[in-house]
Structure 1
Amino acid sequence: MQEDFLHYVWKHKAFSTVSLKTTEGEAITVKNLGLHNHNSGPDFFNAQLIIDDQLWAGNLEIHLKSSDWYLHNHETDKAYDNVILHVVWEHDSEIFRSDNSKIPTLELKGYTDIDLLKNYKSLLASKSWINCEADFPAIDDFILNSWLERIFIERLERKSKDIEQLLKSSQNNWEEVMFKMLLKNFGLKANGESFLSIANSLDFSVVRKLQNNTIEMEALLFGQAGLLNENKEDTYFKELKEYFSFLKQKFRLNNQGVIPIQFFRLRPPNFPTIRLSQFARLYTVEPNLFSKIITISKLDDLYALFSHGVSEYWMTHYTFEKTSKTSKKLLTKTFIDLLIINTIIPLKFAYAKSLGQSKDEQIFELITEIKIENNSVVNKFLDLKAIEKTALNSQALLELKQNYCDKNKCLQCALGNSLIVKN
């Protein structure tokens, strides 16, 4: 058993309150369960209890065993002096505050429904892909859909904190933050961190000075990526290398911290050469991308905004020197969808939040228009249960797997809760 289970039992009052007594036989009436504290200090703040006709207001601490109080050295910590009740599963020791006054103890073992404990243990004992894999298909659709909407917002909240850190480092320059996030997501999984390291290696003012010229933007990005280090006979390669040599001196560029890019196992349309050219072209045509994106609410308008391809050279190449069939290599809708999901929507959410506004309704409309993402985690959930195929649900399912299922946080999950209390 974990303490989280006892937190759950107390928070949801999932215990019998009839004839509730301390280990010394004092009657307990719960007036207020208190506020669950997820940080340091007692587990529940500002509870209100009547113990033997005396009203108490203060904090609660929860442990599996009473002796855990001493194991955690609470007896010497004044932060625990205002604990009015020690809630435990098993009482094995009397507990005292730092001033040697005794703390009343409630042993929950005798007041908790045996089926609740059985369901909890059964869920946590599972060795399946997720703890509730066997029960997932039967979960009520209303509970599932409500929970997926909630954790989708949780995911955006978590991403907005990362955006806040980027804002601090850029002195609140939203255009710079978009540049970094967008460049990272142009690299997808294979080169995302590498592309982000390229963005971080540049002063955004340099980008601003060069983004009205596609070849200079390509020289900047290709050079920082280390793609111009070799010697090739290709005319365009030589041109880019010459431009980059000039830019490197002029702006004192340094790419020592850039993570090497990868071509291995990538299909040609996803080669970093193509993605960097598409990115350079986009920023040449759309100089104030963030300002424009923040005003757009329609999916088709975003598709139109990103409907750019590569520069002329890359229309007939995937790598330097080797020619290929002519193609504009426009960004596909599937790729743009990923940019919207991973860059545009988190930025819209974070920007609205910074202004004290809410764009939840607009964001929900936008992401529910986008098709569900195709990846192994999402597909596994779809194999278990029919779920509406929207990008909102795929993002929520990824959040569910990564931050609830994989961490055994069934007690904090609405789906886990519904299974624990099913009887």
Structure 2
Amino acid sequence: MHFNEDFLQYIWKFRLFDMNNLHTTDGEELQIISPGLQNTNAGPDFQDAKIKIGDTLWAGNAEIHLSSLEWKQHGHHTNNAYNSVILHVVYRDDEPVYRSNGTKVPTLVLFNRISQELYTRYHHLIFDQKQFIPCESRIGTIDGLLIQNWLTRVLIERLQKRSIALTEALKVNRGDWEETFYQFLAANFGFKINALPFEMLAKSLPQNILAKHKNNTMQIEALIFGQAGFLTEDLADEYPQLLKKEYDFLQKKYNLKPIEKHLWKFLRLRPLNFPTIRLAQFAALVATSNNLLSKVLETREPEAFFKLFDDIKVNAYWDNHYQFDKPSVIANKTMGKASVNVLLVNTLTLFLFTYGNYHQLERYVNRSLKLLEHLTVEKNSIMDNFALLGIKVKTAYESQALLELKNSYCDHKKCLQCGVGIKILKLA
């Protein structure tokens, strides 16, 4: 049999091995009262296990290895944290194992106790070649309620992981939530392709500088386009000339250093997604919104979040331009609902969730999840492939969870840590 330690942990966790006539390698009768709780952090694999050896009931931890040799290879024989191990569960027994205090650890060998049928199902799930995800031929047979419950858990995992970057940025910004929100919102205005230069722009242009010019939209636009590196060259049209004049003065006043223009990507983007248009929209939002995060935290109903972006009206110059000095046909440059939807998914829901956890205010966490339930599904190949497998996705709540499922579980074949994978192995 060829399998990973994860499979052996799965076998132990659900007691899916022959439980008859169990004995330790020393010949003592063994009874498993409880396999314990799986530990995902450092230390023994299962905590609070309960076993009976002979007439003695033991409570402690269990450690799982493919071979008993791994006990010493992993340094457990010198690690006091493993002195609490009451049972060593292995597939192959190569040598006895001892705690750091010199006492011998009872060992249970699972060789010849795992059914060939279960192994075959596992091997088919993990090792067979699949086009999209390991369980693509079986996921459609799983009860929808079970999938929904698992997706809820995976969604929380996704938000918690993404919160780490936010809280780290908050530390750098000395606990300033508004500044951190401004930086993350700017990055998401780049919509992945230009996320990095947008983030660099925001960090090079603190919000407190913009706040001093709230009453002068032209200066806000000059600061943003200037810091983005678009006002370093000679420009022909009157509007960018005015921006350049304003920026030259403000740059000296605040000792600003613009980012490099070449960082912005135009290639293979639709004109409406050009960074110049996104910068114009961002400037319009900054000019018309005071304390935007505070407004977000005050907003309760999902529909009202869209209204925060309703007034983004760019300078009239952009009505017939996508870039400076390059006239084009007249087209509406306001943000579409799909773009706002992406900003809400990637910025607002994350901040509500993180703010709620940080301050232990559950209402903001609930608002984050409720908002995701009202936002539309992102369009991408992952969602298309899940749809082909019969997984009906209606909201961003589900699509965000499926993205996490695909990226953190399916792509790494963590089927034995996945609620869907475990169910498939049990039902097969």
2:314 maps to 310
Whether the 8 Å CA contact 1:197–1:259 is kept in 2: the answer is no
Q: Distance in 1 between matches of 2:136 and 2:88?
A: 35
Whether the 8 Å CA contact 2:230–2:261 is kept in 1: the answer is no
1:353 maps to 357
1:140 maps to 143
1:90 maps to 92
1:325 maps to 329
Aligned with 2:174: secondary structure? coil
Q: How many residues align?
A: 423
Whether the 8 Å CA contact 1:42–1:59 is kept in 2: the answer is yes
Of the structure 1 ranges 264-273 and 192-201, higher mean CA displacement relative to structure 2 is found in: 192-201
Whether the 8 Å CA contact 1:315–1:326 is kept in 2: the answer is yes
Of the structure 1 ranges 129-138 and 7-16, higher mean CA displacement relative to structure 2 is found in: 7-16
Equivalent position amino acid for 1:36 in 2: Q
Of the structure 1 ranges 158-167 and 335-344, higher mean CA displacement relative to structure 2 is found in: 158-167
Identify which of 364, 376, 379 aligns with 1:374. 379
1:405 maps to 410
Equivalent position amino acid for 1:161 in 2: I
Assess, with a 3 A threshold, how the Cα gap between structure 1 residues 35 and 212 changes in structure 2: closer, same or farther: farther
Q: Distance in 1 between matches of 2:221 and 2:370?
A: 35
Of the structure 1 ranges 44-53 and 129-138, higher mean CA displacement relative to structure 2 is found in: 44-53
Equivalent position amino acid for 1:367 in 2: L
Shift of 1:388: 3.5
Shift of 1:348: 1.0
1:418 aligns with 2:423: yes
Q: Distance in 2 between matches of 1:365 and 1:83?
A: 43
Whether the 8 Å CA contact 1:224–1:258 is kept in 2: the answer is no
Q: Distance in 2 between matches of 1:34 and 1:114?
A: 25
Instruction: Report % sequence identity.
Output: 40
2:274 maps to 271
Q: TM-score, normalised by structure 2?
A: 0.93
Shift of 1:327: 4.1
2:253 maps to 250
Shift of 1:397: 1.1
Aligned with 2:324: secondary structure? coil
Aligned with 2:111: secondary structure? helix
Equivalent position amino acid for 2:298 in 1: T
Whether the 8 Å CA contact 1:59–1:84 is kept in 2: the answer is yes
2:216 maps to 213
Equivalent position amino acid for 1:41 in 2: G
Q: Distance in 2 between matches of 1:367 and 1:306?
A: 17
Q: TM-score, normalised by structure 1?
A: 0.94
Shift of 1:258: 8.5
1:46 maps to 48
Q: What are the within-5 Å matches in structure 2 for residues 10-29 of structure 1?
A: 10-29=12-31
1:66 maps to 68
Shift of 1:274: 0.8
1:57 aligns with 2:59: yes
Shift of 1:76: 2.3
RMSD (CA atoms):
2.0
* Deviations 1:13-63, CA, capped at 9 Å, x for gaps: 333433222122212222332332222222223323221112223222211
Equivalent position amino acid for 1:13 in 2: R
